[in-house]
């Protein structure tokens, strides 16, 4: 059975950052997500754990929206990687993993 992918983006939801942070809290122990953006013409996704401390940084949170770059979230790493592969994305892993 495939896990559900949830996408948060300022382009999709007016309260995307709040929804993303709530998803992280709800899926703290099992969740992972991709932060996706274009870099030098290549779609690049960074894989993070829901527990990633980078997204707890109050300076970062107050400085800009956490969902200005699309977040693709799931409790299934294989499903996240399959999604990224289908998008033709280059995948990097965060040090939080």
Write the pLDDT tens digit of every residue in 57-83. Answer: 766 555 567 898 999 999 999 999 999
Instruction: Decide if 72 contacts 36 (C-beta within 8 A).
Output: yes
- Put the strands of the sheet holding 90-93 in their side by side order: 6-8, 70-74, 32-39, 42-49, 90-93
**Residue ranges for the chain with pLDDT beneath 50:** none
Residues 6+ apart with CB under 8 A from 18: none
Specify the pLDDT at position 56: 79
Specify the pLDDT at position 34: 98
């Amino acid at each position: 059975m495939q896990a559900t992918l949830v996408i948060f983006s300022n382009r999709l939801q007016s309260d995307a950052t709040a929804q993303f942070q709530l998803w992280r809290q709800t899926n703290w122990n099992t969740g992972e997500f991709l932060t996706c953006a274009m870099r030098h013409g290549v779609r690049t996704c960074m894989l993070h754990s829901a527990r990633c401390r980078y997204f707890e940084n109050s300076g970062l949170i107050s400085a800009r929206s956490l969902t200005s770059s699309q977040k693709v979230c799931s409790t299934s790493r294989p499903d996240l990687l399959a999604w990224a592969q289908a998008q033709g994305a280059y995948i990097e892993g965060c040090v939080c993993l």
